Amino acid sequence: MSTTKSAPLLTVDQLVVEYPSKKFRAKPFRALTDINITIGRGETLGLVGESGSGKTTLGRAILGLAPVTGGKISFDGKDISHATRKDRRVLSRDLQVVFQDPYTSLNPALEIGDILAEPLGVQGMEAAAAKKRVKELLDQVGLPSDAINRLPREFSGGQRQRVAIARALALSPKLIVCDEPVSALDLSTQARVLDLFLQIQKDTGVSYLFVSHDLDVVRHISHRVAVMYHGEIVEQGPADIVTRDPEHPYTQRLLLASPVPDPDRQEQRRADRHRLLESQRMQHEQAGVLA
Amino acid sequence: MTESVETTALTPVPGATGQTGTVVRSTVLKRLFKNPLGIIALVILLGMALLALFADVLAPFDENFANISKTLASPDSVNLLGTDSSGRDVWSRLLFGAQLTLLSALLCAAVAIGIGLPAGLIAGYYAGKFEAVSNWIVSILMSLPGLIVLLTIRAAFGPSVWIAMIAFGVLISPSYFRLTRSAVQSVRNELYVDAARVSGLSDLRIITRHIFSVVRAPIIIQTAAIAGVAIAIQSGLEFLGLGDPAKATWGVMLSEGFKNVYLTPTLLFWPAFAMALTIGGLVLLGNAIRDALEDGEKIKHRRTRTPGTDPVTGRRPTAAPAAVRPSRKSVPAVDPGTEHHLVKVTNLGVGYPQADGSIKKVVDDVSFHVDRGEILGIVGESGSGKSQTAFSILGLLPDNARVVAGSIQFDGSYTVAPGEERVSQERLSKLRGKRISYIPQEPMSNLDPAFTIGYQLVTPMVRVLGISKAEARKRALKLLTDVGIVNPERTFNAYPHEVSGGMAQRVLIAGAISCEPALVIADEPTTALDVTVQADVLDLLRELQQRLNIGVILVTHNFGVVADLCDRVAVMQNGRLVEEGPVRDILRNPQEPYTQTLLASMLEGKEPMSTLVSPLQKEPVA
């Protein structure tokens, strides 16, 4: 895939996110430190890391849901680091989100049709046109058109996530931030939703920032992968290289920690992992001796 | 009458009338109408409202028309309920009183909602300074002695029902404020609100569309209660003679009746009756709406049915109720030749009674066994019944669950004998903790935040093993070392919130093996953990299992975890056991299509960006 040849769609430059501390005059909590990423048009950047590594915060900072303390986020040539509500409304046409939890990301009191029409209404689309678009969207994500008048609770987790995807697609955005969108789903549902993400990208050329803790998921869906650890990006590069032959010790540990579904190969991987941990420990000790 | 149903049913909800149509979704309305108490309340309030509405037509006399020649008269054809000490018609005054009383209650609730609701919405949504300031104001309002304020206002502004009710509305607005604010706070950070922000919705739109819906129901219920209180307070003021004597209200009538209680007790009765009826109706309506909103939960609290009447259990003759009682003497011996299995589950069925009397089966005809030193994996997707199966071995099924078929035996004796409806707690409580222990999915929520980790490890050992505290402490420290905790002393003295999730799971594993069980049931023990931590915990489980030679039932959805630990696997789908066998057979040559689909959904070893589910096997959308 040609990725960053032309001007990238999203550029994050030296981003710092800090949350003010609850305690009086205490140092603010630094969630992200010096983040640099780019995402090209039609490209997927996978963002992998453990809980608390800051991968969700990065997605939220891009969406304007986390405070940007330093650095710059440019989207489609414009600086959006401190975009106002009004800017965001314009921006929402091109920048959308799918959250992890399909149970809380849809308002339980609204019908599916209203949920999907909401972003269209914000952009001033007529009700009749919006309804037509909602039908198209349901079709696109493989839901029956009678879903319009039903409530979120009438759907399973996988179906709800399809609704959330349809909502993100409503305005034909250029970039969708996907925050662990398949983590709450069953295995077979996860496979179908991943298929859907790939199909949509093929059809519309949308870019994804795909956040996940699962290296297998990220490997499957991403062109490039960035690995986060303690609020920093420790490694990034083409998906195949980062997820199969990583350089950073943390990524190496992550790769060998995820179990494979075959007892004998898993035994092999387990042994590899123990060897890796041992060698990393030795290196660590040596570094300590040298210092 | 019918056309006024809508409005009358909603009379206690001034200010929110516009929204009520959508709040009480047809299903809630339907449930409200199904509830006899709800219907009674609606009929009473509807009747009162109609009487008040048509008071001018229905009342034969003006409220203050006095016939001096006919005082304290008994009921007759002219004065239906008799007359009072000034010869005024009781029936007419009752009707006009209803008008004024109901309207003043509405005014009071409207003022309270008008102040409390918007303030609560803003404070809950934006927090910050507005919330801090309004909290102060609310605290001041709530610390004011209500009755004294009302008396002061009466002294300052004269005897007006309306002014008194506006003042009372202001005084009780904090209850709406607090209700609204806490409801808003609970949804402020919901993902759908974030999604609306990303869509560029203005704050006003977000509040009206997404946040208001969560406060509607509690506001309606609260209003029913507040309106009742307002009626009582208002009547109380007038009973004390602080009302407007020129207006007929129930309070004034009560006061009048009280003066003549020895001459004509019925004068006291009628206004009291009207008040009791209205306030009672409001309370019942509030309860009925709450019940209608929470209907889903009500089924669970149904009386348990006797087994003889179960229409669904017809799989085999149900045992007589007497045999179901856990009785020491009559536990049958297990089938010969199966005693050596550590656990044997035979044709197990578990179901939940539904509202309509049927039983919904969540586990159906499941059989497997686990031997000592063996790890059995139970794999399945959500809703496959894998956790329910594990819980029935532990005897930790919810109260309303029924064992509808089959048996469970542990170490050569039945914990659920064939024909029993419930897990015998008497037999299981002797085993649980000692012989069978449990590792839960969410390490953090399974440690009590109020006690130190050491306390939570020591107490069960003292109780179950009967050893001294000092001895138990020594053991606990040893266990913490065993599960790979570097500084056991510090962890022993720590509270659960002071350790990480991985550490908490190690603590729970230490707890699970502390009483040297023969069987450990682990329900998704690594699902909540990071992958690197999961690998460590799996290593720990394997090492302990081999060292202590315990049997393990591992419930999981992850085939990687199965491959890592298990000797045998059972695959479950929709409560049924699909396939069972040695781990290599199942993972490499699955026979059943469902197992094949599951394994095909694994991403490991797949060509990146390839389609995972072939269009042919696509089920009706996941």
- Alpha carbon separation from B165 to A102, B169, B622 (Å, rounded): 46, 6, 56
Parallel, antiparallel or unpaired: strands A44-48 and A207-212: parallel
> Smallest Cβ distance to B198: which of A96, A258, A265?
A96
pTM (2 d.p.): 0.79
Residue A271 lies in a domain: yes
Which residues are within 8 A (CB) of B516 and not within 5 positions of it... i.e. 6 or more apart?
A: B548
- Whether B587 sits inside 8 A of A106 (CB atoms) is no
Q: Does A248 touch chain B (CB under 8 A)?
A: no
Decide if pLDDT at B413 tops 60: yes
Same domain for A89 and A178, yes or no, is: yes
Q: Of B127 and A273, which is predicted with more confidence?
A: A273
Confidence of residue A20 (pLDDT cuts 50, 70, 90): confident
User: In what helix (H) or strand (E) does residue A88 lie, and over which residues does it extend?
Assistant: helix A85-91
Model ipTM value:
0.87
CA of B613 to nearest chain A CA: how many angstroms apart?
Answer: 6
For the segment A200-219, the average pLDDT, to the nearest whole number, is: 93
Based on the structure, what is the number of domains in chain A? Answer: 3
Whether A99 is in a domain gets the answer no
Q: Which of B198, B530, B572 to mutate to test the interface with A (most CBs of A within 10 A)?
A: B198
Q: What is the pLDDT of residue B12?
A: 39
Nearest to A97 among B195, B601, B603 (CB): B195
CA distance, residue B297 to nearest chain A CA (Å): 16
| Domain that includes residue A124, residue range | 105-170
Q: Is residue A253 part of a domain?
A: no
Looking at the partner chain, which of A143, A219, A266 has a beta carbon nearest the beta carbon of B564?
A: A266
pLDDT number for residue B294: 67
My answer on whether A186 and A210 are in the same domain is yes
Are residue A64 and residue A188 in the same domain, yes or no?
yes
Average pLDDT, whole number, for chain B?
83
Which residue is closest to B608 within chain A, CA to CA? A220
Residue B614 DSSP SS3: coil
- Whether residue A126 is found in the same domain as residue A231: no
Q: Which of these three, A143, A170, A197, is where a domain ends? A: A170
Average pLDDT of span A83-98: 89
Whether residue A2 has pLDDT greater than 50: no
Low-confidence winner among A24-33, A129-138, B135-144 (lowest mean pLDDT): A24-33
Task: Report pLDDT digits (tens) over B293-341.
Answer: 765 444 433 344 433 333 433 333 333 344 444 444 467 777 777 888 9
Q: Are residues A150 and A266 in the same domain?
A: no
**In a shared domain, residues A65 and A10:** yes
Q: How much is the average pLDDT of B535-544? A: 90
Q: Confirm or reject contact between A106 and chain B (CB < 8 A).
A: yes
More confident site: B319 or B556: B556
Q: Is residue A252 situated within a structural domain?
A: no
Between B293 and A152, the higher pLDDT residue: A152
Distances A25 to A20, B165, B438, B530 between C-alpha atoms, Å: 9, 47, 44, 33
DSSP string spanning B518-587?
SEEEEESTTTTS-HHHHHHHHHHHHHHHHHHT-EEEEEES-HHHHHHH-SEEEEEETTEEEEEEEHHHHH
CB-CB contact of B279 with B102 (8 Å): no
Whether residues A239 and A271 share a domain: the answer is no
Instruction: Answer yes or no: do A131 and A188 share one domain.
Output: no
pLDDT bucket at B275, cuts 50 / 70 / 90: very high
Question: Does residue B11 carry a pLDDT above 60?
Answer: no
Q: Distance between CA atoms of B482 and B543, rounded to whole angstroms?
A: 10
Handedness of CA B487, B488, B490, B491 (dihedral sign): positive
pLDDT reported for residue B26: 53
* Cβ contacts of B588 on chain A, cutoff 8 Å: 262
Q: What is the mean pLDDT of residues B211-217?
A: 84
Mark which residues 7-36 of A lie under 8 Å from B by CB.
none
pLDDT at residue A68 tops 70: yes
Q: Is residue A251 part of a domain?
A: no
Indicate whether A220 belongs to any domain.
Answer: yes
- Asked if residue A228 and residue A163 are part of one domain, the reply reads no
Give the number of C-alpha atoms closer than 13 A to the C-alpha of residue B338, restricted to the C-beta side.
Answer: 17
Residue A110 near chain B (CB below 8 Å): yes
Which segment of A145-159, A203-217, A251-265 scores lowest on mean pLDDT? A145-159
Looking up tokens 């099924």 gives B397
Of A119, A158, A195, the CB nearest to B612: A195
Task: Answer yes or no: is pLDDT of B73 > 70.
Answer: yes
Shortest Cα distance, chain A CAs vs residue B598, angstroms: 6
For residue B172, pLDDT over 60 is answered with yes
Q: Cβ of B195 and A167 within 8 Å?
A: yes
Put simply, the answer to whether A213 touches B597 (Cβ < 8 Å) is no
Q: Report d(CA B184, CA B116) in Å as an integer.
A: 13
Residues A86 and A181 in one domain: yes
Residues A64, A129 within the same domain: no
Domain annotation covers residue A270: yes
pLDDT at position B426, please? 82
User: Which of A1, A100, A107 is the mutation pick for testing B, counting most B CBs within 10 A?
Assistant: A107
Same domain, A58 and A195: yes
Of B25-34, B218-227, B276-285, B486-495, which range is least confident? B25-34
Is A288 contained in some domain? yes
**Cα distance from B191 to chain A (closest Cα, Å)?**
4
